Structure 1
Amino acid sequence: MGKVKLFEPVALRDVTLRNRLIVSPMCQYSAQGGHVNDHHLINLGRFAMGGFGLIMVEATAVVPGGRITHGDLGLWSDDHIPGLRRIAEALKMYGAVAGIQIAHAGPKAASQRPWQGNGALDDSDFQRGEQPWPVVSASNKPYADGWLKPTALTSATMAEVKQAFVDAARRADAAGFDVIEVHCAHGYLLNSFLSPVTNDRKDEYGGDLEGRMRFPLEVIQAVRAIWPQDKPLFVRVSAVDGLREGMSIEDTIVFARRLKALSVDIVDCSSGGIAPRYEYPSSYGYQVPYAQKVRSEVGIGTAAVGLIVNGRQAEAIVESGQADLVAIGREALADPNFALHAEAELGTVDPKAPFASWPTQVAWWLQGRAVQIQTFSGRS
């Protein structure tokens, strides 16, 4: 049995992940009134049984108006706690750490589910009883042509949003989650403040990068102040906005230095989402260099995400120091046993302890099957 960095346990504050593979928060658009149901339990539970170290619950709205769609999860009420507690307990039962992303969709709120058009709510949605609601942003710029025009937040409504993030974080802790991630990417509310594409404010929350960072940093500081000190805090960023005139990687490095000063533990490096088009190259592992640059220049932990498709690729990322964690999204949906398959692929299963855990048993079986298949396919 060989040891590889990908499957070494990693400690973040007082929380230990069994490996460095995490499941990215991926919206399911299947909630009602913000509440989880059996779909969420089954979808997320299979990743825990599949051996991932950390599983992030999808973007969970801090207020009803912060939902992307009518099907988004919510944490704006104590009524949401019991269902989410059931999720957290199930993930822990199978050895994973339970995490949750808290979010406000901002100018991209009140939209259709992807399979209904993925645009702003329209007449066909109204006929199904799904009405739009007022949307807010840093400025009054709509996300794209045909989308709802947002109202720019005032100092009073900004204070309400910040308190909503704080209250949602308290509820996440009460529900038993050990990792929380503040969504600051993909054109949603906090990203709309950061980006010069969407922020044309003339007050202290606009203008140069210092002004544009102010509100997101205030929110993150408030969340860190009430989130238990023994539990890690992640922040997801769009390392580049996707448009050349938007946030650059250099801007993100400045932002990450401020996050480090606020005791953020991991910067989760995604990109894009500020507009429908993406002007940067994209290929396998295309966002990994962003995680590497933030990690090396800021000295903060990072998670790499984006077209990471197998165990050897993931191992190369952490072994070379490009990132501390590897987040798997679409590939996890296609293969919920991604972590077990990677463990078998990299030969890290201990044959002397095949019954140590459910994932170990499965990985050991998969490794044996791989050997059998290779041997069989090699026969003439």
Structure 2
Amino acid sequence: MTVAPTDATGRAAEVLSRPVALNGLTVPNRIVMAPMTRQFSPGGVPGEDVVSYYARRAAAGVGLIVTEGTYVDHPSAGISDRIPRFHGEEQLAGWAKVAEAVHAAGGRIVPQLWHVGMVREQGQPPFPEAPAVGPSGLRLDGAEGGKEMTQADIDDVVAAFAKAAADAERIGFDGVELHGAHGYLIDQFLWAGTNRRTDAYGGDPVARTRFAVEVVQAVRAAVSPGFPVVFRFSQWKTNHYGARLAETPEELEAILTPLATAGVDAFHASTRRYWLPEFDGSDLNLAGWTRKLTGRPAITVGSVGLDGEFGRAFLGEGAELRGIDDLLDRLERDEFDMVAVGRAVLQDPEWAAKVLAGRFDELTSYDAASLTSLS
């Protein structure tokens, strides 16, 4: 299926090609490559295929690349030995090559720093002996299955995020993104469903931000003042799509304000369909509300260019094309600042170049087999 040219054809370049500042970084356009886990890094080391994968998309006009999630230096951070790690001499050398290649192609790139928390199962690599850890030792379904984090555990993980951020700046990245979404560790502290603590890290929504705030503060202290810190968050959790951190704009503001104050330069608001309003009584989506409430730049994401949410891809399902006229409308009225594109860019490395040139007739529908593509 192809999408016939619409009024988007003539204005896509104008709207999407505007530069945007994230703290001290100027991104040349509004297109972001969303983080997508692919498990193509044996031993946690990104190889030459990963280098070319990111460089190819930067060369095609993606303004900012957010890498796939990459584990911080904590034994309980991961679930696979094929997902990249952001620690270790060989791993960081591989990432340095990625950053260098993306810059040579004209792009900007930030690693997504990740700890999976209670999503981990006992015995999983890369460190099988490590227990699953979380704020209360609870999985997303409320079942017990791991270790409640002590203060020492919390301090160790906070330090691991800070070290990874410092390493990112040292080896040439343009900023960092902290993965605080989708039911992983930082989000497990934010969400009442997994945070039942009665100390300073649990309680009301503001108290539940303390762990995330400490991570942000430590990262901010470990990098240069102009080095961007992006925070990705979501209402939904993996396999718990109805979960919510906030039921009202006021509750969302209570959660986001401490994070902005701690040093978040931009928020990446993850939704499954960007066109859906977040709260009753307003057409604003989650990124729109985030920008309005914090004053920080906001990145929207969720089925951009496709008619069908991403979860179906894991069931082997494809997705037909969807126009972006409404997306351009929202960008023009500054509802949000940037747009992250996942499956469409995974499917077609030239997606950004085609859209920026108005070549919508060359776009094709999404084939779930692209999830295993190395190109």
TM bucket (normalised to shorter chain) is: 0.7 to 0.9
Among 295, 302, 319, which residue is 1:299 paired with?
295
Equivalent pair of 1:110/1:133 in contact (CA under 8 Å): no
- Larger RCO (CA under 8 A, 6+ residues apart): 2
Percent sequence identity is 30
Distance 1:243 1:209 in 2: 19
Partner of 2:68: 58
Q: Equivalent residue for 2:257? A: 257
Aligned AA (1:82): A
CA contact (8 A) 2:76 2:127 kept: no
The whole-number CA distance in structure 1 between the counterparts of 2:145 and 2:259 is: 30
- Say which of 196, 202, 205 aligns to 2:201: 205
Residues 1:336 and 2:349 are matched in the alignment: yes
CA RMSD of aligned residues (A): 2.6
**Runs of 4+ residues over 6 Å off in structure 1:** none
**Is 1:247 the equivalent of 2:245?**
yes
**TM-score when normalising by structure 2:** 0.79
Q: Is the CA contact (8 Å cut-off) linking 2:299 and 2:340 kept in structure 1?
A: yes
Read off the aligned partner of 1:101 and give its amino acid letter: Q
Residue correspondence of structure 1 range 131-210 to structure 2 within 5 A:
131=128, 133-144=130-141, 149-210=145-206
* Change over 3 Å in CA distance of 1:76–1:283 after alignment to 2: closer
SS in 1 for 2:230: strand
Measured at CA, do residues 36 and 199 of structure 1 come closer, stay the same or move farther in structure 2, by a change above 3 Å? same
Q: Equivalents in 2 of 1:330, 1:44: separation in Å?
A: 14
Q: Aligned residue for 1:15?
A: 25
**One-letter amino acid of the counterpart of residue 133, structure 2:** V
Would you say 1:290 and 2:301 are equivalent positions? no
Alignment coverage as a number of residue pairs? 324
Letter in 2 for 1:212: R
Aligned mates of 1:283, 1:215 — CA distance in 2: 28
- In structure 1, distance between residues paired with 2:61 and 2:324: 13
Q: CA deviation at 1:229?
A: 1.3
Match of 1:32 in 2: 42
Q: Deviations over 1:39-96 (max 9, x none)?
A: 3122212211221000111111112421132221111324422110100011011110
**Matches of 1:225 and 1:88 in 2, distance apart?**
22
For the 8 Å contact 1:15–1:232, the answer to whether it is kept is yes
CA change 1:283–1:190 in 2 (3 A) is: closer
Structure 1 unaligned residues grouped into runs of 5+ = 112-119, 272-281, 346-365, 371-380
Aligned to 1:101: 112
SS in 1 for 2:354: helix
The answer on whether the counterparts of 2:71 and 2:114 sit within 8 Å (CA) in structure 1 is: yes
User: In structure 2, what is the Cα distance between the partners aligned to 1:300 and 1:319?
Assistant: 17
CA-to-aligned-CA distance 1:138-183 (integer Å, 9 cap, x gap)? 11212349x9812111001110111111111111112210121111
Give the one of 338, 342, 346 matched to 1:325: 338
The Cα shift of 1:37 comes to 1.3
Which whole-Å CA distance do the structure 2 matches of 1:173 and 1:31 have between them? Answer: 21
Secondary structure of the 1:4 match is: helix
2:368 equivalent in structure 1: none
Encode CA deviations 1:309-357: one digit per residue, 9 max, x unaligned: 1554442231121111100011111122121111111xxxxxxxxxxxx
Q: What is the rounded CA distance, in whole Å, between the counterparts of 1:283 and 1:270 in structure 2? A: 9
The SS at the match of 1:65 is coil
Deviation at 1:14, TM superposition (A): 2.7
CA change 1:148–1:55 in 2 (3 A) is farther
Structure 1 match to 2:318: none
Tell me the residue number matched to 1:361: none
Residue 238 (str. 1) matches residue 251 (str. 2): no
Q: Distance in 2 between matches of 1:132 and 1:313?
A: 49
Cα-to-partner distance string for 1:196-255 (whole Å, 9 max, x where unaligned): 000111211111112211111111111011122122110001145556564115433222
Instruction: Tell me how far 1:33 sits from its aligned partner.
Output: 2.4
How many Å separate the matches in 2 of 1:258 and 1:283? 26
Deviations 1:351-376 (A, max 9, x none): xxxxxxxxxxxxxxx59x97xxxxxx
Report what 2:87 is aligned to: 76
Deviation at 1:110, TM superposition (A): 4.3
Q: In the alignment, which residue of structure 2 is the partner of 1:220? A: 216
* Separation (CA, whole Å) in 2 of partners of 1:284 and 1:60: 25
With normalisation by structure 1, the TM-score equals: 0.78
For 2:97 and 2:327, locate their aligned partners in 1 and report how far apart those are by CA, in whole Å.
30
- Of 215-224 and 31-40, more deviation after overlay is shown by 31-40
- The SS at the match of 1:185 is strand
What is the alpha-carbon distance in structure 1 between the residues aligned to residue 112 and residue 352 of structure 2?
21
Deviation at 1:284, TM superposition (A): 5.7
Could you tell me which runs of 5 or more consecutive residues in structure 2 were left unpaired when the two chains were aligned: 1-9, 279-283, 306-322, 363-375
Q: Equivalents in 2 of 1:169, 1:43: separation in Å? A: 22
